[in-house]
Amino acid sequence: MKILGPACSGLLLLVAACGGASSRASDAPRTIAAEDSSAEARGAHVANSAAMRTEATPARSTGGNLPVRHMPDPPFVATSVARFDQPWSMAFLPDGRLLVSEKPGKLKLLDIANGNIGEISGVPTVAYGGQGGFGDIALHPQYADNGWIYLSYAEPGEGDVRGAAVARARLQLDADGGGRLQDLQVIWRQVPKVTGEGHYGHRLVFDGDGKLWISSSERQKFDPAQDMASNLGKIVRLNDDGSVPADNPFAEQGGVTAQIWSLGHRNVLGLAFDGEGRLWEVEMGPRGGDELNRVERGSNYGYPIVSNGDHYDGRNIPDHDTRPEFNAPEVWWTPVISPSSLIVYSGSMFPYFKGNGFVSGLSSKSLVRIEFHGDHAREAARYDMGERIRCVRQGPDGALWLLEDGANARLLKLTPAAG
Ligand SMILES: [Ca+2]
Ligand SMILES: [Ca+2]
């Protein structure tokens, strides 16, 4: 997406901040997260934006050909609302204010009405570096009554090891636009803590029954994704206090095994339920083979035994179709899109998007729209955003909100384009 000035206001993509002093070209150098930079370095090219906007051109998928919906192209206008330092995720409070996590370890509170940005104190110490730092934010389904918010982050260990952790705390807001965390409890940890600074995952989502789902990526260690004595490379299901539900598929095995809902995952950065209660995830493949999967109880998604991509060092990984016992992706991408988050849209501001998925893309610098067809899915459109996109969320009024990636990154609000 280009920055357009007021003189360009006849065009569809109008960025409100463009009249200000700062332009993209003069911004400080941007921090490129490591999780997909090697894909770019190895020539996983990104299709040009004109081609990417084609409505009817799916990626390889199993969803079949659905009718093409007619809408403006692109169907939204983007407005720059605020800037953050290496933001990772965001969550709306019931009063309409927005919590934003910054990877170096700060939790910010934006009052969208006046632009004021306050800070929440009392956050845990994070292991900032590489892909690690502050991660996701989720509000308890009964937040309005109990004040619990859930935070994920990279936690330092003893020596040169670290691992994802999830804490909950009660959010106490003050009268000055900030607040603090009280009663902080760490309710979950990756086991084991390992060296390196990549593939934490740690995306959080609650389901309609109040269960907490965590994506626990494989820390770039490959084999733990198939090791049931570790919770790396898994999707985990917990009660809201971190205890293990008795009806988890491996509950009887105890230990961290009891937490596991599905296995064989690589770097899962998006996790969302659709309106029918199906859970979907997006994960970064190695060199090629990014995936959108429907998450099924007790299923094995194959990594590192199979992948439609291959190892960065050139070694072959057999494709999914060689091992049908592993759950294959509903959509996969080569060249990669570098999926960083996922939502399923349920608002009314974009009525034609209802029930669609949206995947934010890092190396693809895009927002990818997914159409679901029962248990299957397909890429329906790809919107060029011109910058690496770290997170997509739906606002209380049904607008789409995006966080760009890196230093001095913009928060964008997407609203429907005229026509
Ligand atoms: Ca897979
Ligand atoms: Ca392969």
Q: Is residue 3 part of a domain?
A: no
Catalytic residue among 45, 70, 140, 199: 199
pTM over 0.75: yes
Structural domain boundaries enclosing 201: 33-416
Q: Is residue 141 part of a domain?
A: yes
Dist. CA 389 → ligand 2 center (Å): 26
In contact, 298 and 262? CB cutoff 8 Å: yes
Dist. CA 283 → ligand 2 center (Å): 15
Q: Which ligand number lies closest to the CA of residue 293?
A: 1
Q: Is residue 138 part of a domain?
A: yes
Q: What pLDDT, on a 0 to 100 scale, did the predictor assign at position 65?
A: 40
Dist. CA 263 → ligand 2 center (Å): 18
Q: Is residue 190 part of a domain?
A: yes
Question: Per residue in 36-75, pLDDT tens?
Answer: 643 333 233 222 233 333 333 334 443 334 444 556 678 9
Q: Which ligand number lies closest to the CA of residue 268?
A: 1
Q: Which ligand number lies closest to the CA of residue 302?
A: 1
Q: Is residue 18 part of a domain?
A: no
Dist. CA 272 → ligand 2 center (Å): 26
Q: Look up 376 and say whether it is catalytic.
A: no
Q: Is residue 5 part of a domain?
A: no
Q: Which ligand number lies closest to the CA of residue 284?
A: 1
Q: How far is CA 296 from the centre of its chain?
A: 19
Query: What's the whole-number average pLDDT of the chain?
Result: 87
Is residue 11 over pLDDT 50? no
What is the DSSP code (8-state) at residue 355? T
Q: Is residue 23 part of a domain?
A: no
Distance separating alpha carbons of residues 29 and 32, to the nearest angstrom: 9
Dist. CA 197 → ligand 1 center (Å): 22
Q: Is residue 4 part of a domain?
A: no
Number of domains the chain contains? 1
Dist. CA 306 → ligand 2 center (Å): 7
Dist. CA 226 → ligand 1 center (Å): 12
In contact, 19 and 5? CB cutoff 8 Å: yes
Question: Per residue in 265-313, pLDDT tens?
Answer: 999 999 999 999 999 999 999 999 999 999 999 999 999 999 999 999 9
CATH number at residue 161: 2.120.10.30
Q: Mean pLDDT, to the nearest integer, of 377-403? A: 97
E strand intervals along 231-356:
234-238, 260-263, 267-273, 279-284, 290-295, 331-333, 339-344
The percent of residues above 90 in pLDDT, for the chain, comes to 82
Distance separating alpha carbons of residues 273 and 290, to the nearest angstrom: 19
